[in-house]
């Protein structure tokens, strides 16, 4: 007897979703031996003391489940960091939850908020994990396009989109993929919109919080009292300590929201990895200033990459934040960005991320996203290839 065919009767809950563009482009880059500036990860390691601490804790036998909310020593370090960098007080017991990656924290926050038929506002181009989480909870994503010039948000459009079914607004600053940042004026406007409504919440993806350039400072949603009381803010150790593969982040939310978040989190992954949390707690206690060094570190990379592109035909508007740089290829080609990204990987040996995949309606202009969390020689090599196109 032959086994039944693979479950082709399964009615997909995510019929329009394929493999993420990050996985697709990194795999293609590897297959072609191309310079991989697509998926966002550094080509250098996290601090030695941090990696040593992980080995030490693993060897010392710290290898069983952590508490569901996270190792207390790490939650205390997170509270100290919030105070140090933003002047924000957060209770490690009731307001901070360690998660196996910010993506999991965001998934749990969305799941905690969205009931069938609820609407969630997202801003295009928007990170690809948000909408599937909304859909799986029976919600509907309402996409609002950011400006195609500077990727700002038109809050009047947000105001007119909010209705009695709107349950959630998902923001992301510094913004992946554009690098744009929300400023104080943006967050005040959001605060006034949200506080006029009952039962409207915010998920704020702040994973690139320390990667803000040109003397600007990151505005956290947690600094605005009207937003603080109805927001879930997600952060990432991967971006801050160059350890994306450790998949560890955290969520800060007021006690009532944290309680609902944890109800979901405990059945999605239950906990984050124990020795990783202990290593992070040690490192943060020893090096509390490490995150403050990132802006200069990444600004130098952004500048090197952008300056080296001066003679190229691409349009370059240096990123305000993140470790991503958009290049406008409209002076060069009118191909679809999805096709161009594949062609450049195969023919030019450089991989990037097309941004139309993050949009409900394809943007009019053409942009490709390049990750500049790379060593100097890689940035120069990337720019050299791009200058010849
Ligand atoms: N956040 C990373 C990026 O934008 C990738 C995350 C992932 O691969 N899912 O490139």
For the segment 219-226, the average pLDDT, to the nearest whole number, is 98
Cα separations in angstroms, 160 against 121, 138, 154, 157, 357:
11, 23, 10, 5, 25
Residue to mutate, 23, 41, 105, ligand 1, most ligand atoms under 8 Å from C-beta:
41
pLDDT tops 80 at residue 166? yes
* Beta-carbon contacts of residue 217 (< 8 Å; ≥ 6 apart): none
Q: What is the pLDDT of residue 4?
A: 52
Q: Is 163 left (phi over 0), alpha (psi -120 to 50) or beta?
A: beta
Question: What's the CA gap between 172 and 179, in Å, rounded?
Answer: 10
Helices (H) and strands (E) in the chain, counts: 14, 13
CB atoms within 10 A of CB 343: 12
pLDDT tops 90 at residue 162? yes
For the segment 274-301, the average pLDDT, to the nearest whole number, is 98
* Residue 39 beta carbon below 6 angstroms from any ligand 1 atom: yes
For the segment 369-383, the average pLDDT, to the nearest whole number, is 98
Q: What is the pLDDT of residue 385?
A: 98
pLDDT tens across 52-61, in order? 999 999 999 9
For the segment 331-348, the average pLDDT, to the nearest whole number, is 96
> Going by DSSP bridges, is the β-strand pair 353-354/367-371 parallel, antiparallel, or unpaired?
antiparallel
Cα separations in angstroms, 340 against 25, 31, 143, 386:
12, 17, 25, 13
Q: What is the pLDDT of residue 1?
A: 42
- How close is the Cα of 22 to the center of ligand 1, in Å? 6
Q: Which protein residue's CA is at the shortest distance from atom 7 of ligand 1?
A: 22
Q: What pLDDT band is residue 198 in, cutting at 50, 70 and 90? A: confident
Question: What's the CA gap between 375 and 359, in Å, rounded?
Answer: 30
pLDDT tops 50 at residue 21? yes
Which segments within 12-118 are labelled E, that is strand?
35-36, 96-99
Residue to mutate, 40, 100, 321, 372, ligand 1, most ligand atoms under 8 Å from C-beta:
40
Q: What is the pLDDT of residue 5?
A: 53
DSSP 302-343: HHHHHHTTTTSSSEE---SBSSEEEEE-TTT--S-HHHHHHH
For the segment 32-37, the average pLDDT, to the nearest whole number, is 98
Exposure string of 176-208, with b = 16+ CB inside 10 Å and e = fewer, is bbbbbbbeeebbebbbebbeeeeebbbbbbbbb
Q: Which protein residue's CA is at the shortest distance from atom 8 of ligand 1?
A: 22
Q: Is 58 exposed, middle or buried (0-12, 13-18, 19+ CB in 10 A)?
A: middle
Q: What is the pLDDT of residue 364?
A: 79
Question: What's the CA gap between 174 and 204, in Å, rounded?
Answer: 10
Per the CB < 8 A criterion, the answer to whether 295 and 303 are in contact is: no
For the segment 255-283, the average pLDDT, to the nearest whole number, is 98
- What is the distance, to the nearest Å, from the Cα of residue 117 to the centroid of all Cα atoms in its chain? 26
pLDDT tens across 45-99, in order? 999 999 999 999 999 999 999 999 999 999 999 999 999 999 999 999 999 999 9
Q: Tell me the percentage of the chain whose pLDDT exceeds 70.
A: 98
Question: What's the CA gap between 46 and 248, in Å, rounded?
Answer: 13
């Amino acid at each position: 007897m032959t086994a039944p065919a693979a479950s082709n009767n399964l009615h997909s809950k995510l019929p329009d979703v394929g493999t993420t563009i990050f996985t697709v482009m990194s795999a293609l880059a590897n297959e072609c031996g191309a310079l991989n500036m697509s998926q966002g990860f550094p080509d250098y390691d996290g601090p030695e003391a941090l990696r040593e601490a992980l080995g030490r804790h693993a060897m010392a036998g710290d290898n069983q489940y952590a508490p569901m909310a996270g190792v207390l020593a790490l939650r205390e370090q997170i509270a100290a960091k919030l105070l140090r960098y933003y002047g924000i007080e957060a209770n490690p017991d009731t307001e901070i939850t360690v998660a196996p990656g910010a993506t999991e924290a965001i998934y749990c926050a969305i799941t905690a908020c969205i009931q069938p038929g609820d609407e969630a506002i997202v801003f295009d181009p928007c990170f690809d994990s948000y909408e599937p989480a909304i859909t799986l909870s029976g919600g509907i994503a309402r996409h609002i396009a950011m400006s195609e010039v500077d990727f700002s948000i038109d809050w009047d459009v947000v105001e007119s989109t909010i209705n009695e079914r709107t349950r959630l607004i998902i923001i992301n600053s510094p913004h992946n993929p554009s690098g744009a940042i929300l400023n104080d004026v943006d967050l005040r406007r959001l605060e006034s919109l949200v506080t006029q409504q009952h039962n409207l919440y915010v998920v704020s993806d702040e994973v690139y919080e320390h990667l803000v350039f040109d003397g600007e400072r990151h505005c956290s949603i947690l600094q605005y009292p009207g937003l603080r009381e109805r927001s879930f803010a997600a952060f990432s150790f991967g971006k801050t300590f160059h350890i994306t593969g450790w998949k560890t982040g955290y969520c800060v939310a007021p006690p009532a929201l944290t309680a609902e978040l944890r109800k979901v989190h405990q059945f999605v992954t239950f906990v984050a990895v124990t020795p990783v949390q202990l290593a992070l707690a040690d490192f943060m206690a020893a090096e509390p200033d490490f995150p403050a060094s990132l802006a200069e570190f990444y600004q130098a990379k952004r500048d090197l990459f952008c300056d080296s592109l001066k003679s190229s035909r691409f349009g370059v508007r240096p990123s305000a934040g993140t470790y991503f740089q958009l290049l406008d290829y409209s002076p060069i080609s009118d191909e679809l960005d999805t096709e161009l990204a594949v062609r450049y990987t195969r023919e030019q040996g450089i991989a990037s991320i097309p941004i139309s995949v993050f949009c409900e309606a394809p943007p009019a202009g053409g942009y490709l996203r390049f990750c500049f969390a790379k060593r100097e020689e890689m940035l120069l090599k990337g720019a050299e290839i791009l200058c010849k196109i």
